[in-house]
Chain A
Amino acid sequence: MGVLEIGRGMGVTLSKLFQKPVTVSYPEQRATIQPRFRGRHVLTRHPSNKPGEPGLEKCIGCSLCAAACPAYAIYVEAAENDPAHPTSPGERYASVYEINMLRCIFCGMCEEACPTGAVVMGNEFEMADYRYRDFVYSKEDMLVGVTGSVPQRREAARKGKPVRLGFQVPDGVRPELEGVKYE
C-alpha cells in the first residue's frame, strides 16, 4: 500500500462525498423491489365468467404445499365442494388454509408444489406485528382481493386511512398474480 495508492483511495472517498446518496428513506419513500420478490402469499382465483361475481378459487385442497413446505408453516384442511355452488373447480376445496408467517421462510416451495397455481408469493413485505397469534394468516388474509397484510389493514383502520403498501414494482406484477391489484 504505497502512499500514492492511499492518496488515490482518499480521492475516491472524497469524490463520493459529492455524490447523491442512494439511500431510500423507507417509510416516506416507497421501496422499489424486483418483480420476482417473494413476499406475502396470495391465494389466486380463476377468472370469473359471470360479471360481478368472483371467480372460483384455484386451490383444490390437495395439501401438496403443506407437504412441500420445509418449515411446516402451512396447514390445509380440505372439504367436499357443494355441486350447486362450488368454491373451486375440483371435487374438493380448502375449507381451512392457514400459513404461519412466523415459520414461513419465504422459499417459494409451496408455489413450486402447487398443481393449480393457487398459492403464489406476492410482493408485499410489511408484516411486522406485536402478537404471535396474529401471524397465522388464514384464507381471508390471502385470497385475491385482499389488499395489504393483517398489520397493514389494522394500521389503516386505526388511522382511518387507506391501506398503504410498502413497495413499488417497476415492471408490473407477475402474470400468475392475475386478479391481484397492486398500486
Chain B
Amino acid sequence: MPHWLIEVIVVLLKGVGVAFALLTTFAYMTLVERRLLARMQIRLGPNRVGPGGLLQPLADAIKSIFKEDLRITRADQLVYTLAPLIAITCALAAFGGLPAGPPNSFFGANPWVYSLDVGVLALLALTSMGVYGIFLGGWASGSKYPLLGGLRSAAQIISYELGMGLSLLGLLMLVGSTSFRDIVAWQGAHGWMIVFQSLAFVTFLISSFAETNRTPFDLPEAEQELVAGYLTEYSAIKWALFQMAEYVNMITASALMSTLFFGGYKGPQFLNALIPGISEWPFIWLILKIAVFLFVFIWVRATLPRLRYDQLMRFGWKLLFPLALGNTMFVAFYLAYLKSWGLWPLGVVSLLGVVALIAGSDRVRPLWNQPGVRITDEAARLPGGD
C-alpha cells in the first residue's frame, strides 16, 4: 500500500473514532447533566433504566429514532432535512483539529485528526457555520415561530461570535501563531494563558456560553416567548440531531477553552517527579480539563435564570464586544511598545481588569439592563398619564 493511502485510512479511522467518542459523550452528557441538575435541586434524577439510570441514553436514542418523524406540509423538505445535518456536521468536524497529546504519542499516530496552521481560525469558522443549521432549520419549517426563532438565534450567535473572536486576538498576538500545537507549546514554555489573559478568558467564557446556546443565553429554545424557537417544528431524530449539535458544540467549546487558556493536553509538570512523563500522556489531561468545563456549564445552568433577548443583545454589544476589543488593543499596544518589560505586567493588568469587572458589575448593569426607565419615559409622554 502506498504511504499516502495508509495516511488517509489512519485519518479516516481517527475521524470516525472522534465522532464516535463525541456522540457517546453527548449521550452520557445528557444523563450526567440530568443527574447533576437533579442533585443540585435536591432530587434524584433519572435512575430507572438500568443500574443507576445508566441505560437512559440508550433508551432515549431508541425512542428518538423510532418516534414518528412529522412531515410538515409547508416545509421546504430538502432544507428542512438538511438543516440538522448541517448543524451536527459542523459541530463534529470542528473537534478534529484539537490536539489531544504530543505528536506521535498515540500508538505512533498523531492524537488529532487534522492539524492546520490556521487551527484556531478554522475551528471558529466551523463552529460558527453551525448557525446555518439553526437559521435554515427555522426558515425551512414553513412556520412563523421557527422563522422568528431562527432569525433571533442567528443574530445572537453572530453577535457573540464577534466577542469570541476578538477575545482570542490578544492570545494569538502573544503566541504569534494560530496553530493549536504552537499555542500549547507556548503555554508549556511560559505558563498557562489564563495567567496572562484572564480578561480575555472571561469574555471568551461568556461568549462560549452564548455560542453554545447554554443558560443563561439559551434563547434559541425560549419556550415562553417563541414556543420552542427554531426547533418548534422538529421532532424525533431531527430534533435529537439539533440537541446533539448543541452538546457537541459545548464539548468543543470546553476543549477550546482548555487548549487555549489552560495548557491544553499538557498536565502539571510537578507530577513528572512521581511518574516520569505523565504530563505528556495524551488524552488524559485534555479530557480532565474538558470534564471540568462541562461541569461548569451544567453548574451555571442549575443556577442562572435566562436573560431577556434585548438584555442579551445589549450585553453582547455594549459590554462584551468593547471589552474584548479593548483587550485586543491593549495587548497590541503592549507588545508594540513595552515588550521589554516581560509578560507579567500584562497578566497583572488583565487580572486587574477582571477584578474591576467584578467590582463594577452592578455599576455597568444599566448598559444592558435598564429596568423601568423606558416605561416611565413613555408614560410621562402620554397625555393624562402619570
- By a beta-carbon cutoff of 8 Å, the part of chain A in contact with chain B is 1-4, 6, 9-10, 12-14, 16-17, 19-23, 25
B42's partner among A3, A10, A22 (CB-CB below 8 A) is A22
User: Within the complex, which residue of B43, B302, B304, B357 is in contact with A21, where a contact is CB–CB below 8 Å?
Assistant: B43
- In the complex, the answer to whether B361 meets A3 with C-beta atoms within 8 Å is yes
Q: Which residue of A lies closest to B369 (CB)?
A: A1
Q: Could you list 20 A-B pairs, sorted by A, with CB under 8 Å?
A: A1-B361, A3-B358, A3-B361, A4-B361, A6-B303, A6-B304, A9-B304, A10-B299, A13-B299, A13-B303, A16-B39, A16-B40, A17-B39, A21-B38, A21-B39, A21-B43, A21-B44, A23-B42, A25-B44, A25-B47
Smallest CB separation, B209 vs chain A (Å): 12
Residue of A nearest to B296 (CB): A10
Contacts of B43 in A (CB 8 A): 21-23
B362 within 8 Å of A (CB atoms) = yes
A-B contact count (CB 8 A): 46
Are A4 and B44 in contact, CB atoms less than 8 angstroms apart? Answer: no
CA distance A6 to B216 in the complex (A): 11
User: Are the C-beta atoms of A23 and B44 separated by less than 8 Å?
Assistant: yes
CB distance from A25 to the nearest CB of B (A): 7
CA distance in complex: A25, B365 (Å): 44
List of B residues within 8 angstroms of A6 by Cβ: 303-304
Contact check, B358 vs A4: say whether CB atoms are below 8 A apart.
yes
Distance of A66 Cα from B44 Cα, bound (Å): 43
Whether B24 sits at the interface, judged by CB under 8 Å, is no
A12 to B41, CA, bound (A): 10
- Expressed in whole angstroms, the Cα–Cα distance for A15 and B163 within the complex equals 32
Q: Which of B302, B358, B361 contacts A13, CB < 8 Å?
A: B302
Please judge, given known A-B contacts A3-B361, A4-B358, A9-B304, whether A19 and B42 are in contact too, CB under 8 Å. yes
Main secondary structure of the interface of B (DSSP, over half): helix
CB distance from B360 to the nearest CB of A (A): 9
Complex Cα gap A47–B345 (Å): 90
* Chain B contacts for A22, CB-based, 8 A: 42-43
Asked whether B300 is an interface residue with its Cβ less than 8 Å from the other chain, the reply is yes
Q: What CA separation (Å) do A16 and B362 show in the bound complex?
A: 26
B36 proximal to A (CB < 8 A): yes
Q: Is the CB of B40 within 8 A of A17?
A: yes
> Taking each of A3, A12, A19, which has the highest tally of chain B beta carbons within 10 Å of its own beta carbon?
A3
CB distance from A17 to the nearest CB of B (A): 5
- A residues near B300, Cβ cutoff 8 Å: 10
Bound-state CA distance A9–B365 (Å) is: 18
Residues of A within 8 A of B47 (CB): 25
| A9 surroundings in chain B (CB, below 8 A) | 303-304
Contact of B358 with A16 in the complex, beta carbons under 8 Å: no
Knowing A6-B304, A9-B303, A10-B300, the reply to whether A21 touches B365 (Cβ < 8 A) is: no
Nearest-Cβ distance from residue A124 to partner chain B, whole angstroms: 25
Contacts of B365 in A (CB 8 A): 1-2
Contacts of A20 on B, CB cut-off 8 Å? 42
Are the C-beta atoms of A14 and B361 separated by less than 8 Å? no
Nearest Cβ distance between residue A60 and chain B, in whole angstroms?
48
> Which chain A residues lie closer than 8 Å to B362 at the CB level?
2
Contact with A along B252-283 (1 / 0, CB 8 A): 00000000000000000000000000000000
**A-contacting residues, B17-65, CB 8 Å:** 36, 38-44, 47
CB pair A10–B303 under 8 Å, yes or no, is: yes
- CA gap between A19 and B358 in the complex, in Å: 29
Q: A1-B365, A13-B299 are in contact. List 13 more A-B contacts (CB 8 A).
A: A2-B358, A3-B358, A4-B358, A6-B303, A13-B303, A14-B299, A16-B40, A16-B41, A16-B42, A21-B43, A22-B43, A23-B44, A25-B44
Alpha-carbon gap, A10 to B357, bound state (A): 18
Contact B44 A2 (CB under 8 A): no
**Least distance between A19 CB and chain B CB atoms (Å):** 6
Residues of A within 8 A of B38 (CB): 21
B123 to chain A, nearest CB (A): 28
CB distance from B386 to the nearest CB of A (A): 29
Given the complex of chains A and B, what is the CA–CA distance between A89 and B30 in angstroms?
64
